[in-house]
Amino acid sequence: MYRYIGNKTKLLPVLLDVFSEEAPRNATVVDLMAGTGSVSVALRKQGYRVIASDMMTYSKHHLVTQLLLDAPPSFQKIKNHLNIVNNQLSGYEATLEYLNSLTEKESYFFNEFSPDGTPSNGSPSRKYFTSQNAKKIDAIREQINAWIENDLITSEEESVLKHTLIMAVNDVANISGTYGYFLSKFNAKSLEAIVLKPIQFISEGTIENTVIQDFAENIAATITADVCYIDPPYTKRQYAANYHILETIARGDFPKTIGKSGLRDWWDQHSKFCTKTKIRESFSKVITEMDCDKFIISYSEDGLLSLDELINLFSSFGDVTYRTIEYSRFRSNNSSLSKKLNEYIIILTKIKSVG
Ligand SMILES: C[S@@+](CC[C@H](N)C(=O)[O-])C[C@H]1O[C@@H](n2cnc3c(N)ncnc32)[C@H](O)[C@@H]1O
């Protein structure tokens, strides 16, 4: 499973239950902050038409791969370019095999994120990846960039390759959960060699879906849907900071790094949902502007707003009901936090004249 703050994989059975009560199977649903795409994919499989969006570039690649395709793209130009004649392998598999066999390269990831590198801002070297893996990532990243520049891959093929690379990078990253910082000692997983593995394409449901990369507040007015699912960040932790390395892979760029942890400048992707003073305004804008009468909102007991505050806010737009789901919380050994954590699913039926 993709380790992503707020990933809803575990909550899917309850969520799908709520969706099936609120919308017929062929309805159009929006997953407005789709992250890894886990909810969007489940909705697609259930027969819904999905409009999925997120502000992060890595999320766009996950969503394109999982919502707009039902089989690997052909990679025909790459096959021609590399003169691949192995008929046993699909174009996708052959392309991955080629990328896996590239000679390592001492470039950006090696310098910024490996113990033998020399970070450009003078910080001590970092340990996000072994030097070997960082050099491999450099070679793969730069090859993908060259193919894009030479018009040898389509934008869907780019998304599939970057989705596949990110999944492989997640397997060997020397981190505890997020990319906010690296571990001081390499863990067992991070010592394994990075390998691009073909992903399983989804065949169920429609590919007549839509993927958008933007802020929810910017696109709400452009969307018409039967149901809108909102799964916002619920703490101050910004996704752009915590997943900066995935964003750099997704963009294929070479940003200046900041501080000891080597973050990219992420201010252009900071979320107002992570700020107590702005969150109400953002929720209100989305709910008011979207042409949609039903909103399903996930939120955690640990969040910036309490359940009462949320109900208060949403009640000004219409009728509100909610469900509470009890979770076992992951705790470090001597944590003082309680063992159980409540997750809320709030259902708002908008009354058009209100709000
Ligand atoms: C809790 S996560 C969603 C997790 C997702 N449901 C999953 O299962 O992977 C919140 C997501 O909201 C996105 N986000 C935060 N603020 C946003 C905004 N203002 N507009 C669009 N996306 C935003 C983050 O990038 C992050 O992917």
- Tell me, in angstroms, the distance from the centre of ligand 1 to residue 74's CA: 31
Q: Is 54 in the pocket of ligand 1 (CB under 6 A)?
A: yes
pLDDT over 70 percentage in the chain? 96
Q: Is 117 in the pocket of ligand 1 (CB under 6 A)?
A: no
Which region, left, alpha or beta, applies to residue 235 given φ > 0 means left and ψ of -120 to 50 means alpha? Answer: beta
Question: What global pTM score does this model have?
Answer: 0.96
- Tell me, in angstroms, the distance from the centre of ligand 1 to residue 137's CA: 26
- Per-residue pLDDT of 301-321, as tens digits, reads 999 999 999 999 999 999 999
Q: What is the mean pLDDT of the segment spanning 102-113?
A: 98
Listed by start position, the domains of the chain span 1-60+204-233+271-355, 101-200+238-267
Distance CA 283, CA 305 (A): 12
Distance CA 345, CA 294 (A): 13
Closest atom, ligand 1, to C-alpha of 240:
25
Q: Is 233 in the pocket of ligand 1 (CB under 6 A)?
A: yes
Give the per-residue pLDDT at 330.
Answer: 56
Does residue 344 register a pLDDT over 80? yes
- DSSP state string for 187-252: -TGGGSPP---PPPPP-SS-S--EEEES-HHHHGGG-B-SEEEE----SS--HHHHTHHHHHHHHT
Q: Is 231 in the pocket of ligand 1 (CB under 6 A)?
A: yes
Q: Is 273 in the pocket of ligand 1 (CB under 6 A)?
A: yes
Q: Is 247 in the pocket of ligand 1 (CB under 6 A)?
A: no
For the chain, give percent helix, strand, coil, nearest 5. 40, 15, 45
Task: Please give the backbone phi and psi of residue 134, each rounded to the nearest 5 degrees, phi first.
Answer: -65, -40
Give the per-residue pLDDT at 199.
Answer: 98
Q: Is 56 in the pocket of ligand 1 (CB under 6 A)?
A: yes
- Per-residue pLDDT of 212-258, as tens digits, reads 999 999 999 999 999 999 999 999 999 999 999 999 999 999 999 99
Residues in the chain: 355
- Per-residue pLDDT of 290-304, as tens digits, reads 999 999 999 999 999
Give the per-residue pLDDT at 152.
Answer: 98
Give the per-residue pLDDT at 72.
Answer: 98
Give the per-residue pLDDT at 239.
Answer: 97
- Per-residue pLDDT of 12-29, as tens digits, reads 999 999 999 999 988 999
Range of lowest pLDDT (3-12, 92-101, 346-355): 346-355
Pocket test for ligand 1, best of 67, 239, 302 (most atoms within 8 A of CB): 239
* R_g (Cα) of the chain, nearest Å: 21
3-class DSSP state of 352: coil
The CATH code belonging to domain 1-60+204-233+271-355 is 3.40.50.150
Strands 318-328 and 340-350: antiparallel
Does residue 261 register a pLDDT over 70? yes
Ligand 1, atom 26, residue with closest C-alpha: 35
